[in-house]
Amino acid sequence: MRARVWAGVFFCALLAAQGRRGANPLAADREPIASGATTYAARCAGCHGRDGKGGEAPSLHKSRIVMLSPDQRFFDVLKEGVPGVGMPPLTGPDAAIWEVVAYVQSIAKAGMGLPVPGDPHAGRAVFQEAGCLRCHIVEGRGGVLGPDLTGIALQSSSAAIRESIADPAARVSPGYRAVTVALADGRSVEGILKNEDNFSIQLIGMDGEPHAFSRAEVTAVKSRPSLMPLGLASRLSPEQFQNLLAFLDRQRAATARSEIGFQNY
């Protein structure tokens, strides 16, 4: 009898915990995402598009249910379908439905999907050894030439982070235009353009210090693809690169992290 009462209490506590977070119960690794991708391609892509950005049916990247609701609500929509609009229920075992939840989140929700696989501790060492700290702040220290990466995983999807490193010039973050300023006295200064108006131009130089010039001193301002060194990724082994991505994936702002019950590592 007592055992049953305790079992009941335990079960309610479990439900409460589950209800509060409504979180995906699958283990955090690459497998569920990979098999979710297969199911998605077969059962969803025809209506919502191969990349989930919409087709005949709306974009999942803009869906409240995908982006804002607890995982459990997203799960329920898939299991039940959306009657009346022609979205069929996703039949099959619950685990397979959770896999689709994990996959769709990994493509649509920056920092909210399952953690990127890899060893974040080893990735932190790669971050330091590859010289990233010279230009970027993480965990409260680093340089200011590049954007602060403290909450990067909440702002950018893991695919976008990967691209930023593999091909820095592909997409330059706003406010980080790289320039070379040529001066009348023959010198030139490289850095990030911070502000310019009719009278002056201000940048952060490669030395990390602010520089201001009056227009009269400046003979030319040339844009460069990105201040971030090209070819950084090709100097890393695939394993080092994966660990680096895992480390950056753990850079999620503290508030959001506790909201979704995310353990840093």
Give me the residues that bind ligand HEC (CB under 6 A), please.
43-44, 46-48, 57-58, 60, 63-66, 74, 77-78, 82, 85-88, 90, 100, 104, 127, 130-132, 134-136, 145-147, 152, 156, 161, 164-165, 168, 172-173, 176, 192, 226-229, 232, 244
Q: How many helices, marked H, and strands, marked E, lie in the chain? A: 11, 7
Q: Which is nearer to ligand HEC, 144 or 260 (CB)?
A: 144
Question: Backbone dihedral region of 175: left (phi > 0), alpha (psi from -120 to 50 degrees) or beta?
Answer: left
Find the shortest distance in angstroms from Cβ 93 to ligand HEC. 13
Find the shortest distance in angstroms from Cβ 212 to ligand HEC. 19
Cα separation, 71 vs 93, whole angstroms:
16
Q: Which is nearer to ligand HEC, 176 or 217 (CB)?
A: 176
Tell me which residue has tokens 């098999």: 35
Find the shortest distance in angstroms from Cβ 110 to ligand HEC. 10
Cα separation, 226 vs 234, whole angstroms:
17
Cα separation, 138 vs 143, whole angstroms:
9
Find the shortest distance in angstroms from Cβ 196 to ligand HEC. 17
Q: Which is nearer to ligand HEC, 121 or 215 (CB)?
A: 121
Find the shortest distance in angstroms from Cβ 68 to ligand HEC. 9
Q: Which is nearer to ligand HEC, 153 or 201 (CB)?
A: 153
Judged by DSSP in three states, 113 sits in coil
Find the shortest distance in angstroms from Cβ 202 to ligand HEC. 16
Q: Which is nearer to ligand HEC, 37 or 152 (CB)?
A: 152
Q: Which is nearer to ligand HEC, 179 or 201 (CB)?
A: 179
Tell me the residue type at 16: A
Cα separation, 196 vs 217, whole angstroms:
13
